[in-house]
Structure 1
């Protein structure tokens, strides 16, 4: 079977290698080898180029529209307006001079003087506005030439004449002044006409630029919308749909259908990913076949072990029970010899008989303790809610004699309810409290404290005393069965108590250990699973004392 699995693995490896070999033997088109990142880079580059071109066109259209608007608002319209104001200024001059010439009163020269001031202001503005317009400059020079000719030949001589004389001078120059001002008026009309034509042309250019700008902006919006649609469609066809199909195949395989092939489409990296996933699927098939075979062998071995363990447990239990009867005979007859022949034999014979009685009694206790140790997890396996307040109370009652003889003082926190076997938990607490009472200093009474604190899903307990303590190097040894740190003469016992405690706590899903930082005495810390999900209110915890 193992050979078949290896052969299938080899076939899988060859099958996994075949697509690459096929690609090398039959080159695919260049774009078929593009990865997702390359497709995205190319698409993003093309989109950016198109957007840059459209953005440049849009910026050019906006700049042109802005430039034409500025020309119309800042030059053409003001130039026409100042041309009209120049005409008004010259008309005011003509009106003032003509009135002075007819009446001879100097008050009529006020419009003339105001017109001269307005003329200078209008000429200053017009020269700045038509600085870049050759036609505008020519029209302004022509108007100023005609205005200068009229002013020199008619207006200035009349305005400079003394009061009373202008009437005669004006009468002589009337025809000449009229002809000169008509020429000036004609030049101004031509100037304003040219300004109006230029203004209309600028306005037409602005309207055309505005229409072009709007068309470019609409085209940009349409192209952006088209690019968005193309990008989403490309992502759907090239990325999301292949990923969705790949995910569906992967979910089918992960649900247990390992025969379902993984077929990938789209860019090259997704196809490679699909090929890798399919190779992994085939590898899993081989591994599952191998694992199934190994599991069958393990099940057979586990069944053999369970049968062997059951036979060993039965053998140990029967052997222990069978040892009880001869051991009781040895113990009984040794005690009979001790009572019947005490004092009749020599001192050494009495000592030998005492050794035999003590050894039989100790052997019987060891067998009983070993039977009790073997029962943990096998009998008394009725897990239910156990109130540790009751368990500790019963334990203190059972140990009341030794507590009273030693003068021990025992205090404990409020104890919770846990899930477990009441009998085994009673043995746990009895061993811990009995050890704390037994391993004490001869010159002071034991002081024992039991603590309980919630730690997530567990309850953490601690039993502390002020006794002789346990050296750190023996912190693990004391939990090994029949391991003793003292002779039986100094402290009686079989050395099985803490081993029993460890087996009980581990059977209940907890841990137990020695706190190496606690001094003086010993502090044993262990955990048990909590029954209720909410911890008790530790703020209401008070010490409970039981001194017996």
Structure 2
């Protein structure tokens, strides 16, 4: 009843884990939050980098080229003024070459400044003022002198007005360059601030990334590693045999569920261990009872083999003595009665001896070793020599291998099978007995660890309906008057074969006669064959 209660407890379902955030959920949420933060930081970094690039372009691609173009424009106007003044003083036309080149340079520089100043009102106004005053100077001085027939006189007449116009032009150029330089300085200042902002943003990004890594490491350690270490320590204690130690769930929901499942397994193992201990205790009790019962059976066997047979021997002996001493006073019926009594006593002795032999299988003579069946068969043939000679039986056999078993019991096995084949012979037919040996077909269960033997004869045979009955003790198919015996022989054969780990069956398809098939284990010295069909 206690074992049944424990078995019922073993099938009780374990509690399932409650809901909550699992490790996957925490990792997913943390990864999503980290991804959002990284995207924001990436946007900030991209903006800071773009802003620094824009300010740098404003400095390097606008105001610095604009200052250079303004200086070139100033140089071109100075070249024009120098050329006009030289031409006006000497009248030599080669002095017009700097003036003409300066006009081309002025136009190029003005075109460059116009493109660079686009979008800036003050720069556009400065350029317009410079162009206007350059045009005034050129209209007052440069063109009239360069086109005059008397350049010296024309230059002398326009000296004062030309100087004033050119001074105004130079003032406009200086003002333009001052404004451009101021823009350049502002752009430089903005670039420095943009670089500082960029460095700050990227430093902040690096710090946030490091913080995220540290946070992830701390979260994984606290949420996963620490609970797993606790669970591992608890499992190690249980593995060391401390099944009473319970596991406290901790960490995310899935780790808690794992801890609960492991704890449930611990409880189940504890219950199964308790069950096995109880079962072992009961088995020990039953083993003790069986040991006591076997001792009593051995005592009974001793009594049966000695004390029970002694009265039988006395009955048979005194009956025979009575017959001899009073033979002349006994009639035929009295002699028949005495014969019945002697025969009954002899059959009782034979039955007791057979029962003792049956009970000793597996208990006595258990000297398992590698046994040559050919040697066992020769001994058995010698024991049955009289029966073989009287019936003229022909005994043949295949080459017999060695097997592992008890030589005494294997001899009893062969003796019973061969003697049955000779005993149950057909009237008027010479008994022919053949013992075959082979390895079972490849793929058969245990084929690599056993031999298969068969004892065939040409006797009266056994009907298929009796295939199981003949191996039951005291089961006979014929009367004692027809065929003598006690009905123990085949039961004894089955017990011997099963003791050796084999099986014995009746081949119901064999005709004429009878064929018994049984298996025995390989000798330990023989390696398993790779191809059983070749044996």
TM-score by length of 1: 0.62
Q: Residue 436 of structure 2 contacts residue 453 of structure 2 at CA under 8 Å; is this kept in 1?
A: yes
C-alpha displacement of 1:425: 3.5
In the alignment, what sits opposite 2:366? 381
Q: What is the deviation of 1:221?
A: 1.8
Inter-CA distance 455–293: structure 2 relative to 1 (3 Å threshold): closer
With over 3 angstroms needed to count, the CA separation of the structure-2 counterparts of 1:514 and 1:106, relative to structure 1, is farther
* Counterpart residue number, 2:519: 526
Q: Which residue of the partner structure matches residue 31 of structure 1? A: none
1:511 equivalent to 2:502? Answer yes
Equivalent in 58, 61, 65 of residue 78 of structure 1: 61
Compared CA separation, residues 302 and 93, structure 1 to 2 (3 A): same
Structure 1 contact 439–467 (Cα < 8 Å) conserved:
no
Task: Answer whether contact 2:55 2:187 (CA < 8 A) is retained.
Answer: no
Gap change, CA 1:283 and 1:464, over 3 Å in 2: closer
Q: 2:451 aligns with which of 461, 467, 472?
A: 461
Query: Structure 1: where are the runs of 5+ without partners?
Result: 14-33, 132-136, 255-259, 337-344
State the alpha-carbon separation in 2 of the partners of residues 191 and 517 from structure 1. Answer: 122
CA deviation string 1:110-141 (max 9, x = no partner): 575466456546654x36xx76xxxxx22442
Partner of residue 393, structure 1? 375
Secondary structure at the residue paired with 2:439? strand
Q: Which residue is 2:13 aligned to?
A: none
Inter-partner Cα distance in structure 2 for 1:38 and 1:528: 61
Following the alignment from structure 1 to structure 2, what is the Cα–Cα distance between the partners of residues 167 and 439?
A: 168
SS of 2:449's partner is strand
Q: Equivalent residue for 1:536?
A: 527
> Counterparts of 1:437 and 1:120 in 2: how far apart (Å)?
136
Residue 430 of structure 1 deviates from its aligned partner by 5.4
Contact 1:458 1:528 in 2 (8 A): no
Number of residue pairs matched by the alignment: 485
Residues 524 and 66 from structure 1, CA distance in 2 versus in 1: closer, same or farther, beyond 3 angstroms? farther
Q: Distance in 2 between matches of 1:477 and 1:159?
A: 147
1:158-180 deviation digits (Å, cap 9, x = unpaired): 99999866994995585334532
Matches within 5 A, 1:345-424: 367-383=352-368, 386-388=369-371, 390-396=372-378, 398-399=380-381, 405-406=393-394, 408-412=396-400, 415=402, 418=404, 420-424=405-409
- Residue of structure 2 aligned with 1:193, choices 178, 182, 197: 182
Gaps of 5+ in 2: 10-16, 88-93, 325-331
Structure 1 residues 236-270: Cα deviation after superposition (integer angstroms, max 9, x where no partner): 7766447735863785544xxxxx77595868969
Aligned partners of 2:489 and 2:502: how far apart in 1? Answer: 16
How has the CA–CA distance of structure 1 residues 281 and 100 changed in structure 2, closer, same or farther, with 3 Å as cutoff? same
Are the equivalent residues in 2 in contact too, given 1:246–1:264 (CA < 8 A)?
no
CA contact (8 A) 2:361 2:495 kept: yes
Cα RMSD after superposing both structures:
6.2
Q: Tell me, in whole angstroms, the C-alpha distance in 2 between the residues paired with 1:167 and 1:392.
A: 155
Matched, 1:69 2:80: no
Shift of 1:377: 2.0
8 A Cα contact 1:377 1:507, kept in partner = yes
Q: CA deviation at 1:461?
A: 1.8
State the alpha-carbon separation in 1 of the partners of residues 478 and 79 from structure 2: 142
**Under a length normalisation based on structure 2, what TM-score does the superposition of the two structures give?**
0.63
Q: Deviations over 1:367-414 (max 9, x none)?
A: 54333222212221234xx233x23333256438769953634135x6
